[in-house]
Amino acid sequence: MRRADWDLVIANLHNEPLSDGSLIACLHCDLLQRLPDLAPGGSARCTRCDKELWRRREDSLNRTLALSLAAAVLYVIANSVPMLGLSAVGRQAFTTVLGGAEHLWGNGRETVAGLVLLTALVAPALQIGFMLAIVVAARRKRPPRWVGTLLRHHPTTCTWSMIEVMLLGVLVALVKIADYATVIPGVALFVLGVLVFLLAGIQASFDPREVWNRVEWAESARRAGAAEKIAEATS
């Protein structure tokens, strides 16, 4: 294929960006509006449906990196030490998050065990891991292409990560069991409590728009890839 043909294929693959980058549409009501230039800490809301369009965070990358690092450490601790113990009639038993899912699995509730595993272990790990990778890579002069891919999927990991819900569930279970046995709150319980606040802190300090403004565009990456192929074919 000639170079002009490749350009045509790529042009049809991707939408054409607008020349004015400050024009956006609200994702909740589709109203077209111009995003003002905000001072750090300022926020802009949709004039029709009041959705927050953008909140500019102060020192976003550094703060998010610090919080994500702390969250990663706490996540590892929370899942390697006992979370909840029980002592009755001279016997003691301890369990972790993984232990809870394992027990369900062993009792023929594989689907529910899978869901617990996803929402309490896998999704939080991806949420923290993605965020760490994004902020580390976004600090480079030219952030690599995969930063955009991770950032695109990060909201999904947040939707299914339910550490705070699990913590409430554990507390209710603890009170329930306290009626007929002595419960021993494990170290992991307190670590999880701190982790919930750290995850909220990450949400409050991260500014995805700042990273989106720096990533390499999918369109230009594909154009470069096509140029390479042409060079290969013609050499």
Partner 1 sequence: MNPAGVTAMQLGLQSCEACGLLSRPAPGEEEGRCPRCDETLAFRKPGSLQRTWAYVIAAAICYVPANLLPVLTTTTAAGADSDTILQGVVLLWSPTGWPLSLIVLIASIMIPSAKILALGYLLITVQRGSAQNHEQRIRLYRMVKFIGRWSMVDVFVDTFTAALVQLQPLMSVEPASGLFFFAAVVVLTMLAVESFDPRLIWDSASAREVRHA
Residues 210-229 that bind partner 1 (CB under 8 A): 212, 215, 217-219
Contacts of 37 (CB under 8 A, 6+ apart): 22
Q: How far is the CB of 215 from partner 1 (least distance, A)?
A: 7
Task: Report the 10 Å Cβ neighbour count for 170.
Answer: 20
Joined tokens for residue 96? 């972790």
CA distance 176 to 51: 40
Nearest-approach distance from CB 48 to partner 1, in angstroms: 7
In terms of Cβ atoms closer than 10 Å to its own Cβ (0-12, 13-18, 19+), residue 89 is exposed
Q: Would you say 189 and 95 are in contact if contact means Cβ atoms under 8 Å apart?
A: no
How many residues contact partner 1, by CB under 8 A? 72
Give the per-residue contact string, 148-177, with partner 1 (x = CB under 8 A; - = no): xx-xx--x---x--x--xx-xxxxxx-xxx
For the chain, the distance separating the N- and C-terminal CA atoms, rounded to the nearest angstrom, is: 14
49 interacts with partner 1 by CB under 8 A: yes
Please, what is the minimum distance in Å from the beta carbon of residue 145 to partner 1? 9
Name which of 12 and 235 has its Cβ closer to partner 1. Answer: 12
> What SS3 class is residue 132?
helix
Assess 14 for contact with partner 1 (CB under 8 A). Answer: yes
- For partner 1, the closer of residues 4 and 233 by Cβ is 4
Q: Report in angstroms how near the CB of residue 16 gets to partner 1 at its nearest.
A: 5
Compose the 178-217 pattern: x for residues touching partner 1 by CB under 8 A, - for all others: --xx-x------------------------xx--x--x-x
* Amino acid of residue 132: L
| DSSP, residue by residue, 2-13 | -HHHHHHHHHHH
Residues in 78-117 that interact with partner 1 by CB under 8 A:
84-86, 88-89, 91, 93, 95, 99-104, 107, 109, 111-112, 115-116
